[in-house]
Structure 1
């Protein structure tokens, strides 16, 4: 199980630029709304989470020691646990989880971003 981070702590770390936030929602959800400056490694469908992480992590997370926080929709969502666990298996040394996810972030009145993900489809 990954160490947990609370909203207030994550907000401060994002503002300080001291963390890389990983949105583990499917690409279309990420494009619609994500935490500020978040990168995307989809953790759904669950059976593809490890493959997506293996493919995308070297590009979006080149430093194995960078502080990382993974998140998904809410507490029941498993995406962030799957992606986070795989990051640890790949050798990332500072991975935490924002268990409450984007639903908690939005309910706290905090800003989100929208973006297009460039895909080589």
Structure 2
């Protein structure tokens, strides 16, 4: 799987040509996830892949907590095995996103902005 940088991911998000997949447990996803991401907490089969990433023309970008998390790589490999042609891994994951001060969706935001745990608030 080819890696993707935060800048490349932001460009794809802005263009609307990416299907973003978080490869972490449901509680982690519910707490905070990258905007527009869908959750793939475990093994991927053809049915789940089609629900998570129905448009095979778009790039599929998989991420997890950060550079030392391997869940994103194994999930991306599963999408590739199922016939998705442009699958990439955002190795920086949530850690890189937070360090850049970018917004999350979910129950809480990154604690650095002082609003952790406040429903509906997103970092700027």
Q: TM-score range by the shorter chain?
A: 0.7 to 0.9
2-structure distance, mates of 1:110, 1:57: 27
d(CA) in 1 for partners of 2:30, 2:14: 21
Which position in structure 2 is the counterpart of 1:78?
70
Normalised by the length of structure 1, the TM-score is: 0.82
Q: Which has the higher contact order (CA 8 A, sep 6+)?
A: 1
1:22 aligns with 2:21: yes
The answer to whether residue 50 in structure 2 is matched with residue 37 in structure 1 is: no
Q: CA deviation at 1:66?
A: 2.2
State the Cα distance separating 1:114 from its structure 2 match.
0.9
Q: Could you tell me how far apart the structure 2 residues matched to 1:65 and 1:107 are?
A: 30
Match in the other structure for 2:52: 60
| Per-residue deviation, residues 6-49 of structure 1 (Å, max 9, x unmatched) | 0111112112212111011111100110011001111xxxxxx4
Q: Pairwise CA RMSD of aligned residues?
A: 1.3
CA contact (8 A) 2:21 2:52 kept: no
Bigger share in helix? 1
Ranges of 4+ aligned residues in structure 1 off by more than 2 Å: 63-66
Give the Cα–Cα distance (whole angstroms) in 2 for the partners of residues 97 and 61 of structure 1: 15
Partner of 2:116: none
Q: Which has the larger radius of gyration?
A: 2
Give the TM-score, by structure 2 length: 0.80
* 2: CA distance, partners of 1:82 / 1:60: 16
Q: Write out per-residue CA displacement over residues 48-78 of structure 1, whole angstroms, 9 at most, x where no aligned residue.
A: x43xx11521212123332111000011101
